[in-house]
Chains A and B, each alone.
Chain A
Amino acid sequence: MAEGKLCNRKTVDTKEYLNALLADKSGKQYYKEMEELDVDTDKLRTTLKASLKSRLRTWLEICAHCGMCADSCFLYLANNRDPEQVPSFKIQSTLGEIVKRKGNVDNKFMRMVMDTAWSKCTCCSRCGSFCPFGIDMGIMFGYLRGLCFSQGFVPWELKIGTGMHRIFRAQMDITSEDWVDTCEWMAEEYEDDWPGLAIPVDKVNADIMYTLNAREPKHYPEDIAEAAILFHLAGENWTVPSEGWEQTNLAMFAGDWAACKMQVESVYDAMNRLKPKRMVGTECGHAHRSTVIEGPYWAGLETGKTPVKSIHYVEWVAEALRTGKLKIDPAKKIKEPVTYQDSCNYIRNGGLKDISREIMSYIAEDFREMSPNREHNFCCGGGGGFNGIGRYRQQRNAGLQIKRQQILDTGAKLVISPCHNCWDAIRDMEEVFKDGIRWSFLKPLLINMVEVPEHLKPED
């Protein structure tokens, strides 16, 4: 059965394979090989049999084709209400078809399925909350991505991304040494301005174990320093693990189920090893969904919960402001109109809508809600891996229009976006549309707003 050197059904478990993929600029050879990649129909049939359970089978069958999901999908709205962008059509014509044909599909079909699964759905699950039967196409597309991955039909960047997780237990090539060194570096760089600032690594029994996104040590380690500063100001007893610090999970976007499990287990191992009272994750949506919400099930934890209580960064911020661990200088509150990007993964799918409003009530004088908002908010336009895939750049840019209009309608020029994916999408939006919109995580804004206790100020 024909498989390519780069594009195949194998997983990326060696640096050699990973480097070969990276050396293939823009995935040119990879996608060329994909055109020749045979579908292992026996394997597909077996996988379906083993993993397509009653919930998904029922959903596929009971869909009434009423079309109520159409207007719920930002990609449908952004693409001139193209009928092929109606969520029920998208899933019926892909997963539905594979099931109907009992896995007997060909290469061309699978390539269409891949393009649909990654460029026509961000797994934001907004459709699920509008379907009269509660059918969640986002969940089904997540499943479909798994089928695609097992057959080798996965976008180049995600084959790389999940390979990174398999090899480094991080979405980028950051080793444990790199990571620990970055912590030392940031403490060094910021200790003059914040006397006593430290980033404790592998401290046992701390109150908080902090986990984050590999892009922080890779490209903007300031974010780590900012997290440290806020924990420091709040007087928290905290630590980071030397291993198991990566909270994100591109394997989830890729549909690499085995790697999903490996990744979250590395974090759970750190929890078991360091025994913190709880874990706080960085400002990231899918990291929360994968490690805190879905991960325990991947790892087969019977409680359905992480080994220690785990919260999103916004929950920690709200708590710190509520209890007075962090105090906002009233004169430094955000005065200009400001809006908040509800990340699908921890708002709609994680229930944290009120927490974010609570934060805004402490820090902003003119908070403007987008419309719709909270659990009904639209995806930023770049979720589920959409942002990072070059093959679908045009489709992604087209999809950004809905979020853009939502933001423009608020009149705010500043968007607070405590999610790396949303943050990226809004940055790219500005690159494409040039509206003069600024975007920020909470951390840098908070540092400019909080009162610094006398004893924590530098002498100089």
Chain B
Amino acid sequence: MFEKILFATTATPACDHAAHVAFDLAKKYNSSLHLFHVFGLPSHGFGQQVTDVRTGKADDYGTRYVEAIKKELQEMYADEIGDNSDYQIESVIGVPHREVLRMARKENADLIVMGAHSRQEEPGATRYRSVVGSTMQRVAKGARCPVLIVSRPCTTCLWYFSNIIFGTDFSKASYSAFLFAYQLAKEIGSKLWLFHALDISAMHAGKTLEQDEIEAQIAKAKQKIKDTYVSQMTDYDNYEIDVLEGIPYVEILKYARAKNGDLIVMSHHTREVDPEQALLGSTVEQVVLRASCPVASVNRPDKVADLKLTPQADATESEGG
């Protein structure tokens, strides 16, 4: 299922849980694991100086510096590596999200696993190009393969997942997320919860929506889930459909909690990440930072389309949140 897994780490304890999941997955699927850390931000023009992402200290780039970092990574993850031999460690300088995406593309990774890479963790990285938006957010947006974000301890590892929550906004990207969620649920034999949150805050700011109107829209969304996704599933009936109104990230979190979800799958295709307005981040980012289970962000069909389902004509139409 995953031939190549790219584990992008900040090399801080924030990524310990992600490390555990990455190595477990690699073991389970005999995947080759690429342990990757962007350790320094280039600075001062064309000069050789880099700012270490963890210490914030400036130092000159050099081959010995890179070797020292790699050795440190080897020791840091020695327990996780164990007797696994199909892995490699790589560390580079650059802007973290850009280098993670570059490496994923170069290695043709099937899955990227990362920690939450929260903004608090990397003030330097977000400042580099005067952009706001965390590494996680940018990797999730740019990657062609699924991105699994693990920010909390994951006691049940992926193959034990019994409840997969798929959150959709009916976008084209969501369809790729669905393919991933469905493929995974089928492979693992877990239950799939197909969920949509009717975004009443964004749609009707300043206007109170009649209850029957809300209910009508809920019914419509449920039908749409059936038409768009359920119609594509074969030999599989272990699923349930739900639509709730509210603020999307809150509703998804509440729903995941209520259903004992151990994995949330959704897309992250926010077109415009305006630094001024996106201070709170996207729905995905909010879900990642708050969820007690891992979150997979899937935006593109490249690595999930091999299910060979018939193309869904209606899948590009967007509605609601």
Contact = CB atoms under 8 A, between A and B. Distances in A.
Interface of A: 22-23, 25-26, 157, 160-161, 171-172, 185, 188-189, 192-193, 215, 218-222, 250, 382, 387-390, 393, 420-421, 424, 427-428, 430-431, 438-440, 444, 448, 458-460
20 contacts: A22-B63, A26-B48, A192-B173, A192-B269, A219-B42, A220-B95, A220-B98, A220-B129, A222-B129, A387-B44, A387-B47, A390-B44, A390-B48, A390-B49, A390-B60, A424-B44, A444-B131, A459-B316, A460-B173, A460-B318
Interface in B31-66: 42-49, 60-65
Given A215-B46, A388-B44, A460-B172, 5 more contacts: A172-B46, A189-B142, A192-B173, A192-B269, A390-B47
Contacts of A192: 173, 269, 299-300
B130 interface: yes
Nearest to A439: B130
B320 interface: no
Nearest to A223: B129
A250 B144 CA distance: 36
Given A387-B47, A388-B44, A428-B43, A460 B269 contact: yes
Dominant SS among interface residues on chain A: helix
Contact of A387 (B45, B127, B128): B45
Contacts of A439: 130
B271 interface: yes
Contacts of B101: 189
B272 interface: yes
B274 to A, nearest CB: 7
Interface string B55-85: 0000011111100000000000000000000
B101 to A, nearest CB: 7
B316 A448 contact: no
B-side interface size class? 35 or more
Interface string B82-124: 0000000000001100100110010000000000000000000
Contacts of B172: 459-460
A188 B145 CA distance: 13
Contacts of A424: 44-45
B10 interface: no
A447 to B, nearest CB: 9
B171 interface: yes
What are the 8 tightest A-B residue pairs by CB atom distance, in nearest-first order?
Answer: A388-B47, A387-B45, A25-B62, A388-B45, A26-B60, A388-B46, A460-B172, A424-B45
Given A222-B129, A458-B271, A250 B46 contact: yes
Dominant SS among interface residues on chain B: loop
Contacts of B102: 185
A222 B131 CA distance: 11
Contact of A221 (B48, B65, B98, B131): B98
Contacts of A157: 46-48
Given A25-B60, A459-B316, A460-B171, A448 B43 contact: no
A188 B101 CA distance: 12
A220 B125 CA distance: 12
B90 to A, nearest CB: 17
Contacts of B318: 460
A424 B60 CA distance: 17
A444 B62 CA distance: 32
A28 to B, nearest CB: 9
A25 B316 contact: no
A430 B126 CA distance: 14
Nearest to B49: A390
Contact of B47 (A389, A430, A458, A460): A389
Contact of A460 (B48, B130, B316): B316
A250 B46 CA distance: 9
Contact of A219 (B44, B64, B94, B173): B94
A440 B130 contact: yes
Contacts of B142: 189
A18 to B, nearest CB: 12
A218 B144 CA distance: 20
Contacts of A218: 42, 94
A142 B62 CA distance: 30
A23 B45 contact: no
Interface in B155-174: 171-173
Contacts of A388: 44-47
Contacts of B46: 157, 161, 171-172, 215, 250, 387-388
A109 to B, nearest CB: 26
Contacts of A459: 172, 316
Contacts of B171: 460
Nearest to A459: B316
B62 A219 contact: no
B61 to A, nearest CB: 8
A223 to B, nearest CB: 9
A389 B46 CA distance: 8
Nearest to B47: A388
A192 B171 CA distance: 12
Given A26-B60, A221-B98, A420 B45 contact: yes
Contacts of B300: 192
A448 B129 contact: no
Nearest to B97: A222
A393 B47 CA distance: 11
